[in-house]
């Protein structure tokens, strides 16, 4: 289903669409999304069901000394659905295998607030990439992989999680030198200093 051009808002739009969170079986988000989109087309419910999204974020991981960017699910087991919640839509969602229920407050499905909807619907293309650092602790032995200090060994002085960098301590001419390096430029060695 091609995404419609709607403002991601919880406020009543002309069609009355609001964003709801639907619980689904973990690991089956994509399959449930595809089935829902197919059933919406078959039952001609396009005016009552807008977009169906899997909330994701962009992350950068350090694997084998290289930085790799990927998307990861923010909430495993949940979908965001833009809906006009009526009996036909509720019946459709209850019939789909893999759908558990709506996120509720008491017995009523609870729509997202406009601020929540904006944050989740904006998607991974907006905002900074979150950097996942390898499991480094101060005192861990490392080897520099690239740059001027390639093949030198040192230790982790500090992990700078907010910037995705690691402050390392190297010995140069018998004196300690502290450098801020990308996590992809170092390799963790066994043991501590």
Residues in the chain with pLDDT values less than 70: 1-15, 62-66, 123-133, 191-193
Ranges of each domain in the chain: 18-131, 133-192
Give the pLDDT confidence score for residue 119 in this predicted structure.
79
Task: List Cβ<8 Å contacts ≥24 apart for 7-14.
Answer: 8/117, 8/118, 8/121, 8/122, 9/114, 9/117, 9/118, 10/111, 10/112, 10/113, 10/114, 10/116, 10/117, 11/114
Give the pLDDT confidence score for residue 74 in this predicted structure.
82
CATH classification number, 18-131, choose in 3.40.50.300, 3.40.50.2000, 3.40.50.740, 3.30.70.940: 3.30.70.940
Give the pLDDT confidence score for residue 12 in this predicted structure.
45
CATH, range 133-192: 2.30.30.30
Check if the beta carbon of residue 146 is closer than 8 Å to that of residue 62.
no
* pTM for this entry: 0.61
């Amino acid at each position: 289903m091609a995404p419609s051009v709607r403002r991601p808002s919880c406020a009543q739009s002309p069609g009355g669409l609001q964003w709801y969170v639907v619980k689904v079986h973990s690991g089956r988000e994509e399959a449930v999304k595809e089935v829902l989109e197919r059933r919406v087309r078959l039952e001609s419910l396009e005016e009552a069901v807008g977009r169906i999204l899997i909330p994701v974020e962009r992350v950068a991981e350090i694997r084998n000394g290289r930085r790799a960017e990927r998307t990861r699910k923010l909430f495993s087991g949940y979908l965001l659905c833009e809906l006009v919640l009526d009996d036909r839509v509720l019946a459709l969602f209850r019939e789909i295998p893999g759908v558990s229920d709506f996120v509720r407050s008491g017995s009523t499905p609870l729509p997202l607030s406009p601020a929540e909807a904006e944050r989740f619907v904006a998607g991974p293309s907006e905002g900074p990439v979150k950097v996942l650092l390898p499991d480094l602790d101060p005192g861990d032995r490392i080897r520099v992989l690239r740059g001027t200090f390639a093949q030198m060994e040192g230790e982790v002085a500090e992990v700078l999680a907010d910037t995705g960098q690691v402050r390392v301590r190297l010995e140069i001419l018998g004196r300690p030198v502290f450098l801020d390096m990308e996590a992809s430029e170092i390799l963790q060695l066994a043991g501590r200093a």
